[in-house]
Structures are given as structure tokens and as C-alpha cells.
Structure 1
Amino acid sequence: MNSILSSIKDPSLIEKRRNQIIRSAISLFEKKGFHRTTTREIAKEAGFSIGTLYEYIRTKEDILFLVCDSIYLQVRERLEAQIDPDNSSLAHFINVIRSYFYLMDDMQEEVIIMYQEVKSLKKESKDYVLQKEKDMVSMLERVIAKCFPHSLNSNERQLLANNIFIQGQMWGFRRWMLQKQFTLETYMDSQIQFLIQSIQAKSSSDKC
């Protein structure tokens, strides 16, 4: 993990203050974007002085990194809680997808901020954040492999996992259009139906 220095030695206090910074930054980035938000504004939103802020971070980019890392941690933890590695049923596959879509609906503002602003990170931090995304796609890929062990090859499982990952995020990215035509429930139902049909079609073609 990218190490962000702090002059404070108490780990619990660092975690508490950085969580305050993250929440404040997300609120401001949503309204103004990363570049137009100042560290002074973040400190004020968090309820402490600019001097106190710099006891916990070094630069504004550190704040963006903390925001991105926090978002991925929340997504990973909440998705992991829904995955049973021993369950190979179709119902489990559907439940994991639904859980992921609900999660993306719940965190759509945070995910949009992350994708808009991750380009502002330095290469080392950006690579770390992008690896987090790959790790989460791999979680979906393992569910697919467990539930459809003979229907798809490795490349197909990877592509399907990426498709699911993007379909969940698309609900937030294109909500201005999608929410005119779909509720979250009808959007999930349609996407899941397409996914299952494509897997079944692939399986049938392989048998021919």
C-alpha cells in the first residue's frame, strides 16, 4: 500500500481523523471536483484547522488516494460478505450480482468521483488503485468459475466478470438516461437475464 506519512503516532487517532477527511473530501469533490477543491475547504468541512489537516496528510493528492482506497475497501468488504466460496448454485450467482448492483447504486456518487479523479494520482498510487479494481473483478470471476465450471473458459470468465463489473457501475454513470427507462430492479433483472442467456447459449454451442 502507498504509505501516507503522518506526524501523529496514535494509529486510532490517525484512522479517526482520516475518516473525517475522507467523508469531507467526498462531499466537496462531488460538488466541485478534485482540482477546484482546496485543502483548506476540506479541513473546514472536517471541522479542524488546515494545520491539523497536514498532521495527517502531506498533499491534496494524499487525500484523493485515501478517498479512492476507502471506496474500494468498502466495495470489497461488502461484496465479500455476500460471496460463499463453497456455493455453486445459480441462485448464489444471481444473489452476488444483485448485491453488487445494490452496492453500486448505494455508492454511485463515490464511484463516479473515483473514476473522474483517479487520473490525478501519480503513477504509483494510480497503479495501486487500479490493482484494487482488478482484485474485485477477480472476486466476480471466482464466483463465475464456481457456478459455471464447465460452461466458460478462463478468458470468457474474465470477460464476463469485467462485463458484470461495468454493468453495475453503468447504473451510476448513465443514470441520467437509464433511470428514465428502468428502476434498479428492472435494470438488474434485464442484465441478469442477458448474462444467463449468454452463458446458456455458450454452453449449448459447445455441445453441438
Structure 2
Amino acid sequence: MTKKREIQSSVKDESLIEKRREQMISGAVTLFKEKGFHRTTTREIAKAAGFSIGTLYEYIRTKEDVLYLVCDSIYDEVNARLDRLDLEEGSLETLVKALEQYYTLIDDMQDEFVVMYQESKSLPKDALRYVLNKELEMTALFERLLAKCAASGELSLSQKEIVLASHHLFVQGQMWAFRRWALDEYTIGEFIEMQTKFLLQGMAGEKITIQGA
């Protein structure tokens, strides 16, 4: 697993650090989405977070640190939600549940996903490398589930198809964040149901029935 990038803080209370950084993330996401990363100032982030610029710099050192925290919060939440599932079981049912958890997360964190993909290019090289590696780790979760489904015979996929399909599953869910403006006639439940059918029917090579869909 990719080691977290350390963000320096002059505060030693870990619970307070977590609380203040959550406030920063919340304020920064709105600003980054509305104004863009480069046009947003640290003073504006501090104001949106509800504290002074001096307090802000007790918890981060640069504006890029805040953007990194936004990106990292997404991966932390993906891990937290998928950890609720028995990923070692590796059945088609588990894969469907993992997709539901992941796509629901995208619904909950639409703005964060948009900001991450629009602005991550502004991160320092080491932070960008961390973000890209975390992206690959998240994709690898789906790759392992697909491999287990292929091994059990529930899906018929070659190794190359498994790798490509894992990226496809991962990216297709993000359509809900990027194309939300054009999908206002759909609920998140309908989106998950239809996407899951499209994706799994394509991988199975035949029409399959998904319980509850």
C-alpha cells in the first residue's frame, strides 16, 4: 500500500488536526470547484473553513497541501466503504455490492471527485505520484474481484480483459460526478442499477440477471 505523504503541522493533537483538516477540505472543495485551484487563495480557504489564516498555517504549509488532502480524503473513504465487504469472497454478488458502495460514494463526494480530476495536475510531483498510485490501488481492488469471479467461472475474462475491465468499472462510476448536469432525470439508484447491468452483461458476454436489479 502506498505510504501517505506527510503534511507538516505545528499542532500535536491528532484529533484536532483531523478536525481542522476536514474543515479545510470542506471549504476548499467549494472554492476550487467555483474558482479553480490557482485563483483560490489560502486566506479564502481559511475563511471558508471558519478560522484565521494564522490558524490555517498551523495545520498545513502550502495551498498544495490542501489539494492533496482533498484527494486523499476520497481514497480514505473508498477504503472505508469497501472494507465493509468480504472482498476475499470474490463472488459476483460481492462485485455488485462493491460497485454499489463505490458509486454511492461518488454520489456523496461529487464535488471532491470533480476537483481531484480538474486540479490534481497542480500538485507537486511527489504528491501527484502518490495520488496516481492510490488510483491504481483502488482499481486493483476491482481487478482482484474480477479475477476471482473469472476463476470461479462466474465471468469469462482473460487476464488482459480483467485489467481493462477494472479500469472501466472504476471510471464509469465517475460519470455520475462529471456528467451529473446531463443526468438529472436519473436517481443514483437507477444509475447504479443500469451501469451495473451494462458493465456485467458486457463482461459476461450474455444477458445475466442481477438480484435486486
TM-score range, shorter chain: 0.7 to 0.9
Moved over 4 A (4+): none
- Aligned equivalents of 1:135, 1:59: Cα separation in 2: 26
Letter in structure 1 aligned against 2:200: I
TM normalised by structure 1 equals: 0.87
1:59 positional shift = 0.9
What TM-score, normalized to structure 2? 0.85
Q: 1:78 aligns with which of 69, 77, 81?
A: 81
Contact 2:25 2:70 in 1 (8 A): yes
**What CA distance in whole angstroms lies between the structure 1 residues aligned with 2:129 and 2:77?**
19
C-alpha separation in 2, matches of 1:46 and 1:184: 29
Deviations 1:140-171 (A, max 9, x none): 11111222215222221111111011110011
Aligned-residue sequence identity (percent) comes to: 54
SS of 2:184's partner is helix
Structure 2 unmatched runs, 5+: 207-213
| Alpha-carbon RMSD | 1.8
Higher helix share: 1
**AA matched with 1:184:** I
Aligned partner of residue 183 in structure 2, secondary structure: helix
Structure 2 counterpart of 1:165: 170
Residue 149 of structure 2, aligned match among 147, 170, 177: 147
| Gap runs ≥5 in structure 1 | 203-208
Once the two structures are TM-superposed, the CA of residue 54 in structure 1 deviates from its matched residue by 0.9
Match of 2:111? 109
Cα distance in structure 1, aligned partners of 2:200 and 2:17: 45
The whole-number CA distance in structure 1 between the counterparts of 2:204 and 2:111 is 34
User: 2 CA distance for matches of 1:20 and 1:176?
Assistant: 26
Q: Retained in 2: the 8 A contact 1:21–1:42?
A: yes
1:123-202 aligned at under 5 Å gives the runs: 123-149=125-151, 150=153, 151-180=156-185, 182-201=186-205
Inter-partner Cα distance in structure 2 for 1:92 and 1:19: 31
Which residue type is aligned with residue 148 of structure 1? A
